[in-house]
Structure 1
């Protein structure tokens, strides 16, 4: 049996409070040879099963007694009182029950569960479940066991679906929900399998039934095979909404997501999903902001809703209102002018002030940023690195990279191992043409811990990519890609145990590595390799908006398959209508197609949503130039020049400003 499947079952056994026992020891000791009288009884049972000898009432009574005895041992094991001896006794009791009465489906099911939960033996579990169902096709326990075995073997958890096994899993799950139409796990797993097979309509039907089912007490198996998803009623409504949104059934999606939020108003993922749904519905910023304001009015302490409200206001360029939304959180926690001493409050204050400083930087409010930095020092203490980090960001925005570097190095004397300071220093070194120095800082943080090393390798790749060092960026990206499975397993385990960071990027780590690799390959001129990397993402997730956008944009940049590129970018924008990068790609595609009115519309919107992008400003200037709006073109190019950090990009923009035209 695959070691990966073994590890999944082992973690599940631990999750239900079972002590760890070596499988080989159990298998050696649990099933000793049957004594001679038991062997004789087994032969009698075979004869009875073959119709040679009827089962006597006495045999049946003794069989039930053995079944109950085994269940007592088994219940003890499932509640954490497991020893090798009790497990052996449970297994022997069930075997003896079957020797006395081979028609006891419950005994086959119990033996299958022992094999599944405690012996990491899915083949025996499957065989026993099938034996039970052959005796009693309406055995709910056996049907559920068989379904779980097949779901585990289908590759659902690894996103590597084995279609024949997945089809068998569907049949088994349909039996589970036939026998118990209120089985939340059955409907949820059915939906996940359908979704993995691309059968979206059937997935929606299954998730609709799940959302209507009562809560399940046994949630761990679903969590494990789905990488940490919850089986709760709110999760059901949210998952339904997510899939409805993907299917373009926006109004139904919004209704489902609202039900999820009504059950869990502070869930960040649900609020973000609502944001996407409202945007897809064409309501724009105003509709989303109004919805979030209603949520906040009903619960002014809902930090997740306040945060999303502030972000939405910022995207609408209503920066002062966004800052006020964050200030309300501080007021609700009683934060004033005095230093914060409670560690939990410190974390919250640091997070909020960082958000405020970022908004002020976006709005170009330099004085406001400086005031917030001083506020950080006053509330968090002079030794806290948050203020220095944001001061360095401000200096970098102003083009004062050498000064920013000095601020960071001084701060690192007090906080030598602070990751944010190190990563920003590495980034700035790369921007100053000192990429090897920046990469060396990050390499020093590689400690052999998969998830942490994965992050640093992506940062190394990015430093080299921004410096135009595509070969080194590819090398670091490939190393990150190799680490992705182990890093993903560590991240999933942390989330399942409640240790995950709420602000973590929820994107699959292999996808993150492939996105970085494809960008590096594109920069290196390996267009075929870049497209293959993105196609790997789309093979697993055909609706991945970033992969669709990037592939479309790369094709547009090369002037290849422009209509195909346009359709991919449109799909990305449909998924994330306020993403400035996607809007830029769409505008640039229209520009390349000569559709200047559409190009101006989307590039203007991209620039409104992200005024700090040199690429967007350059593209907008190019459109204005083509439209004969010379003054607007030069203004956009000048702004792009102040934002540019790449030498080639800077030279190209200067050429346009000097009147030489440049390459579009």
Structure 2
């Protein structure tokens, strides 16, 4: 009998690869079925073939953790087994992201262990081994200053022993670590002149350009590196940071979200993710989660507590917001965002004198902020100090370029307060608008325009609707031929759910507008659309909104209310989507 030829080496490799895939698949199935012993058995079989298989090591570590969490075995022993595997992964790859995250979670003081190992390697002049352990310690530690100095000394020693251009490269990294980006960029440029093919030289030159705030230039150097190695966490972080600085929120998020789950850059990445999410219009709860993670992961950005406070204000979590703003102000008593935030919280909670103090502190460093000047003026009105209020309102008009042609110093107080009322209503600051409207009406109780305007403010705010109805009726009795006054009455009736009366009033308002030649009827038609939507007459509301928006598009000069148009478009979009679901 002839002997069989030995199997080709390529066939043997293919067989080994196939067996590996089968074992990983079987382990995955067992894990999904919570059959932890079988999953462990498959993965350990695979590791006997290749003890350095990173994927198998990581999956086995995860399996030990899940087994311990299930309560079916000794959790402390399984935790230690899992930790041991993550340590092995770090020995093989000091930048293994998931191993770093899990070691840090399972053993928060683990960085001290690697610091001790680094000391032993340093004393025996095993510089490269020491560098590995120092870098693991650096990435596991929240306070990297402890190891930064030792890394600096080690880098100098490595530089002294290295030939060029490696020596210059080490010194450039040292410059970068110690906050000298211009010197670092010059050294990395020297390295590139010596050998332009070295990816690591190009990478660190791009990082140095970022630190020099030459963002567009840095992007040109880093993007090709990312294309060739998308897994490099340094490059991903810095490209995400560049895009963040350039205000390209969505691509910045795509780069930073994965980094926010890793260590070393976790804190700063999470901070930028939180801000980018907010800027991209994502719900504040999600953005807030990342900003709070940034604090817990060691971000030292001094503006971070104020950023968190601003999000908490948006979520109406006033006491938590106040605590964040106070922490921010404690670090910097003149921090504008802290003083503004504390003023907003105090204002919301009805502590008028306190809010004025905070707003005045803000104005000490930002004296030309129209919105805050108006808030301060409203605060003085609440404290029954109309002259002080008028002074602040005049300052607001002087500071706002929109009112460049208005003689702020010479107009009468009544005209001044009317302008401020309209500004507040246009910006939907209804509560403050009501304060100004009440003051105007108190000065001239028989003024039908003041009655009408206050009634509209109460209706928009959904407050004291009975009083709003009374004021609207009185305004119409005084000026029966004013379609705007009839619109206000109809809107109050809509808000009070008096839909039959409201429809008749709004129809009458439109008829009167046609009679007197009033072209701008967008607000009347919008109120009628809301009436139809409130009565669940969705198609009538959609038709009314379409007509309203088309009218505003056709005659923008006549329909000068962009806020109303945005509101109408938003309502139309919502109603249209609801109708599609029904159809």
TM-score range, shorter chain: 0.3 to 0.5
Q: Which has the higher contact order (CA 8 A, sep 6+)?
A: 1
Give the TM-score taking structure 1 as reference length.
0.34
